[in-house]
Amino acid sequence: MRLRLCPPAVLLLLSAGCVLVSAPYKVTKGAVEGSVWAVKTSYTLTAGGTKIIYRIGKFTYEVVKAPRDWPLTHRDIREIDGLPVKEAIRLGRVKDSPYTVHGKRYVPMSAEKAGHYREVGVASWYGYETKHRKGGYMTADGEVFDPSGLTAAHKYLPLPMYVRVLNLENGRSVIVRVNDRGPFPCKENPGAGKRIIDLSMGAAKKLGMYEQGTTLVKVEAVRVRVR
């Protein structure tokens, strides 16, 4: 059975009962060159709303706004941009807004810095526990969480964006849509916060890390143009 392991970040400032957490990511200028094209298709759903499908090469991403009454994948997110989480999502205040988890205030990087993001570290995967739940779960930017999709959670990247993840242990790679927050330390596994990215079950299978649960990866930003 795969265990969910939930770095301690660098603590810089104590204010109003919260801890400001610096981002331990690396931004390398010139790290990402060129861009990739995404083909966008929209469908109207019978229950209302819209499903948007993006295709980047051989990878496909389905984007659907989640019903407001669905629970978050990470219920420990207490506020985003000083607002209740779902209110921030409704107002479109998520992208690079600071947010609070367990009293710690995380500050995402700007879109400009994210465009040069590259980092090597440990990846894990999440979402199996959502697979058999009646209804569904909402990601931190308000999208339907699909455990079989090609998505990921990241503590500091703006939402949503795309990154290429390379499994350094077997050479497999996948482009994922970052639409959620995490991984965070938790009571059962405080070291999980040291991981740099949490992948969906579908992405973990593409990378050949589904059985082992974690692996060493290189993550770098992908500049996407839509047509």
Closest CA to 178 of 201, 165, 161, 203: 161
By the 10 Å C-beta count (0-12 exposed, 13-18 middle, 19+ buried), 86 is classed as middle
Domain that holds residue 118: 11-28+35-226
**Does some domain include residue 55?**
yes
| Whether residue 160 has a cis bond before it, omega within 30° of 0 | yes
Asked if pLDDT for residue 10 goes beyond 80, the answer is: no
Residue 5 lies in a domain: no
Return d(Cα 30, Cα 26) in angstroms, integer. 12
pLDDT average, residue stretch 2-18? 34
Mean pLDDT over 96-102 rounds to: 96
What CATH number did the domain enclosing 114 receive?
Answer: 2.40.40.10
Q: Is residue 119 part of a domain?
A: yes
Residue 3 is assigned to a structural domain of this protein: no
pLDDT band at 187 (very low <50, low <70, confident <90, very high): confident
- Structural domain tally of the chain? 1
Can you say whether the dihedral through the CA atoms of 188, 190, 194, 198 is positive or negative? positive
The reply to whether 171 falls in a domain is: yes
Q: Which residues have C-beta within 8 Å of that of residue 82, sequence separation ≥ 6?
A: none
Percent of the chain clearing pLDDT 70 (strictly above): 81
| Residue with token string 């104590």 | 14
Asked if residue 74 lies in contact with residue 85, where contact means CB atoms within 8 angstroms, the answer is no
Instruction: Answer yes or no: is 132 within a domain.
Output: yes
Higher pLDDT, 141 or 4: 141
Give Cβ neighbours of residue 171 (< 8 Å, ≥ 6 apart).
none
Is residue 2 assigned to a domain?
A: no
- Tens-place pLDDT, residues 40-96: 999 887 666 789 999 999 999 999 999 999 999 999 999 999 999 999 999 999 999
d(CA 115, CA 162): 10
> From CA 119, how far away is CA 197, in angstroms rounded?
10
Q: Is residue 81 in a domain?
A: yes
